[in-house]
Chain A
Amino acid sequence: MKKSIFVVFLIMFMVFSAFGAGTSEQAGPPTVAFSPGDMANPSQAFAAKMFQKYGPDYGLNVIILDGKGDAQVQAQTVTNAIAQGVKAIYVNPNDVNAIIPSLQQAKQAGLIVGMFSSDVPAASASVRNFFVGVNDLMAGETAAEAFKAAFPNGAKVIEIGGQAGHDAQIKRHDGFNKGIAGSNITVLEYQATQQWATEQAMAIAEDMITKYGEEIDGIFCHWDNGVTGVANAVEAAHLSKDLFIVGVDGNMAGFQQVRDGIQDVTVMQNFEAQAKKTLELTKTILDGGTVDAINFVPLDVVTLKNIDTFTPPEW
C-alpha cells in the first residue's frame, strides 16, 4: 500500500516537472524574478510590490523569490529561478560575495542578471548585466553635507549604524566619514546595531546621551525607523538644546518625523524609481539593445522646506 502511494506521488512529480519545465516557453509575457534579501524588511517588501506593480507596464510578469535574510537561501532562489526558466533575475543580496557563484550559473544559463540596491564587488562585475540602486556611499556623504551645512562652525555628532556587516551599513558609514573628512564635524562615537531594529538604535542613543550629554550637537542614524528610537531617547533625556538628526531612507516614518520637526533631514532612496529603471533595462536588453552597467538612481534630500515637493512614500 505504502509502495503504491509512493509510486503515485513519483509519477505525479514527474508529470508536474515535465509540464513545469515547459512553462517559460508558453505564450504570455516573459517572466522575470526578483529576489529581495528579506521580505521581512519593509523597504524590500515595498520594492517587491513596485516590481509587481510596474512589471506589466514593461510587458513582464514578475515573481518574487524571498532570500529570507539568509545568503544560502538566497543563492537557492537564484538556482530555482534558473530551473523555472525565467528571463531575468534581480537580486538585492544578503551577502554580495556569497551570491556570486549562483549568479554566475544564472548568467551561463542565459538569464539577464541585475543587481538591485547593492552591487557585487568590481572584480566580479562580469556576473551581472547591470546594477541599479542608490549609492550608499553617497547617502553617507549626503548626510555629512547636511551636517556641514547646519554647523558651519563645527559640531560633535554621534553616528548610529545599521545592521553590523550589512553592505548599506558599511557604505553609509564610509561615505559619512569621507564626507566629514577635513571638516570640523567630529564623530564622538560610532556604534552599529545587531539588526535594523528601532529598539537597538534607541538603546544606543540612550547610552550615548548618558556618556556625552550636552556635548552632542547631532545624531546621524543610518535609517529612518531607527531615528524613531533615537528621537524617543532624545526626548526622554530632556536635553537643554535641540539635536540635529539625520536619517536615510525617506520612508513614511522619515517623512512624518521631518514634518513633525523631530528629524531634520531624511536622505531619500526612491525604490519605485529603482524598480522601474530595472524593468526598463531588462526590456531594452530583451529587445536587443545595450545598457549601462552601473545605473545610480539619484538620492533626494528631504527637509521641512522642500518636503511638499515629494510624493509621500508608501513604506
Chain B
Amino acid sequence: MNKALMKAVKEYLVLLLVLGLVLITAVIEPKFITSGNMTNIMRQFGPLIMVAMGMTFVIIGGYIDLSVAGIMSLVAVVTLSLIDPIGQVGAIFVGLLIGAAAGFLNSLVITRSGAMTQAEGLFISYGMSVLYGGTALLYTGGVTNHLSYIESNYSLFTLIGSGTVGIFSVSFIIFLFLLLILYIFQNFTYTGRAICLTGGNKTAANLTGINVNRTIIIIWTISGFMAGVSSIVLFSRVTTASPVLGKGFELNAILAVVVGGTSLKGGKGSVARTVLGAMLVILLSNSMNLLGVTVYMQNVMKGLLLILAIWLDNLKGRR
C-alpha cells in the first residue's frame, strides 16, 4: 500500500504541486481564481510552452538545446523588419523558416562533428545561441524595434498577441493545435518512437536499424521551429522585438520539461506532461507575484523545483 502510494506520489508529484499551489494561492489571494487572472495565465503560458514542447523532443533524444534563446531573438528581429517589405504573412513564414533552419543547422553541426554526448550537444547549442543572438544584434545594431513603428498592416500580430476566440486567447488556440500535432507525432508515428529509442541508447538504436542522424536532425529542427513560433507569439504579445528577446527562456523551458517528468537522461518523456511542467512554472511566477514574493525568492523556488524534479527522476530510475 505504502509502496503504491509512494509510486503514485512520485509519478504525479507535479500535478500535486500544481494543485497545492493553486489551493494555497487561492486561499491567500482570492483574486487568483478570477477569470481575469485565468486569461493572464493563458497569455503568459503561450511563449514558454511552445519553446518547451520543442525542447521536450531534444531532451528525449538525449540532448539539451540552449540555442532557443538566440533563435528567438533572431526570428523576432528579422520577422518584424520584414513586415514592411514583404507583408505580415510573408514575414511570419520567413520567421518560422529561420527558426526551423537554425534548428536544422544545429543538427548538422552536431551530426557532422560527431557530437553524440549530451555535454557536447549542450556546448554546441550554447555556441550556436551566441551566434544567433550576435547575428540579431548585428542585424539591428542593438536597437529594439516596436510594432508601432511599422507602416504596413500588422493586424495578424495583434491578433496573435492579444486576440481572443470566446474565452480563449489566440495564442492558447495555437498552442492546442501544435500540442495535438506534436502529441500525434510522438505517440503514433515511427519517428516519434525512434526519438525515444535514440535518446535511450544511440548505439542500440543504430543497431536496431534506426537512422540516428536523421532522428537527431528531426528533433533539433522541431526545437528550432517551435522556438520560432514562440518568438512570434512573444513579440506579438509585447509588441516589441528586442535583439535579446529570448534571454532566459532556455532555462525556463528546460525547467518546464524536466518538472513535467521528461528524463534528462533521455529516452523517455512526453510532450503532454511538459504542458503540466510549463503550467507549474507559469503558476509559480503568477502566484508568487500575487503573494508579493520577491524575485530573489522566486529564483530560489525555481532552483529548488528543478533539483527536486531531477532527484525524483533519479529515484524513478533506481526502481
Contact = CB atoms under 8 A, between A and B. Distances in A.
A31 to B, nearest CB: 23
Which of B40, B161, B290 has the most C-beta atoms of chain A within 10 angstroms of its own C-beta? B40
B201 interface: no
A42 B296 contact: no
B315 to A, nearest CB: 30
A164 B143 contact: no
Contacts, number: 114
Size class of the A contact interface (CB-based, 8 Å):
35 or more
Interface string B273-302: 000000000000110011010111011000
Contacts of B34: 210
B295 A193 contact: yes
Given A210-B36, A211-B31, A315-B143, A232 B238 contact: yes
Interface string A242-255: 00000000001100
A216 B31 CA distance: 15
Interface string B62-91: 000000000000000000000000000000
A293 interface: no
Interface in A230-280: 232, 235-237, 252-253, 256, 260
A308 interface: no
Interface in A62-100: none
Interface string B105-138: 0000000000000000000000000000100010
Which interface residue of B141, B162, B289, B294 has the most chain A CB atoms within 10 A?
B289
A40 B142 contact: yes
Contacts of A199: 47, 234, 237-238, 245
Most buried by A among B37, B142, B237, B243: B142
Contact of A211 (B29, B133, B143, B238): B29
A202 B238 contact: yes
Given A40-B243, A46-B142, A236 B162 contact: yes
Nearest to B286: A207
Interface stretch (B49-57, B93-101, B144-152, B218-226): B144-152
A100 to B, nearest CB: 24
A237 B40 CA distance: 10
Contacts of B36: 209-210, 237
A237 B162 CA distance: 11
Given A164-B295, A206-B40, A256-B149, A228 B133 contact: no
Nearest to A256: B148
A34 B237 CA distance: 35
A177 interface: no
Nearest to A210: B37
Interface string A28-68: 00000000000111101110010000000000000000000
Contacts of A117: none
B289 A228 contact: no
A191 interface: yes
Contact of B289 (A44, A165, A208): A208
A203 B133 CA distance: 23
B239 A232 contact: yes
Given A210-B40, A314-B143, 17 more contacts: A39-B137, A40-B137, A46-B142, A191-B295, A194-B299, A195-B248, A197-B245, A199-B245, A207-B289, A210-B290, A211-B29, A211-B290, A228-B146, A228-B240, A235-B162, A236-B43, A260-B148
Nearest to B252: A194
Nearest to A38: B244
State the 5 A-B residue pairs at the shortest beta-carbon distance, nearest first. A45-B142, A207-B289, A210-B37, A206-B40, A164-B295
B247 interface: yes
A207 B149 contact: no
Interface of A: 39-42, 44-46, 49, 164-165, 189, 191-195, 197-199, 202-204, 206-211, 225, 228-229, 232, 235-237, 252-253, 256, 260, 314-315
A204 B289 contact: yes
Interface in B199-251: 234, 237-240, 242-245, 247-248
Secondary structure of the A contact surface, majority rule: helix
Contact of B237 (A45, A232, A253): A232
A92 B244 CA distance: 19
Nearest to B241: A198
Contacts of A202: 237-238
26 contacts: A39-B137, A41-B244, A45-B141, A46-B142, A164-B296, A165-B296, A192-B294, A192-B295, A194-B295, A195-B247, A195-B248, A197-B244, A197-B245, A198-B240, A198-B242, A199-B237, A203-B40, A206-B40, A210-B40, A210-B290, A228-B238, A232-B162, A236-B162, A253-B144, A253-B146, A315-B142
A42 B162 CA distance: 26
B290 A207 contact: yes
A197 B289 contact: no
Contacts of A235: 162
Contacts of B133: 40
Nearest to A262: B148
A226 to B, nearest CB: 10
A253 B239 CA distance: 11
Interface string B27-46: 00101101011001001100
A91 to B, nearest CB: 18
A244 B203 CA distance: 62
B137 A198 contact: no
A266 to B, nearest CB: 14
Interface in B146-174: 146, 148-149, 161-162
Given A199-B234, A202-B237, A207-B286, A189 B142 contact: no
Contacts of B238: 198-199, 202, 228-229, 232
B55 to A, nearest CB: 18
Contacts of B29: 211
